[in-house]
Amino acid sequence: MKFLQYIVTDPKETAVVAAAADKALASAPPGFKLLARYAALANPSAGLPTAGLVTIQIFEAESTEAIAPATWPMAVAGANYNTVPVMELPTGPTVAETERKVRG
pLDDT digits (tens, 9 = 90+) for 57-76: 999 999 989 999 988 999 99
Q: What residues make up the domain containing 69?
A: 2-103
CATH code of residue 48: 3.30.70.60
Q: Is 67:34 a contact under the CB 8 Å cutoff?
A: no
Bridging pattern class, strands 53-61 and 32-39: antiparallel
Low-confidence ranges of the chain (pLDDT < 70): 42-51, 92
Per-residue pLDDT at 49: 64
Q: Count structural domains, the chain.
A: 1
List pLDDT tens digits, range 87-96: 877 776 788 8
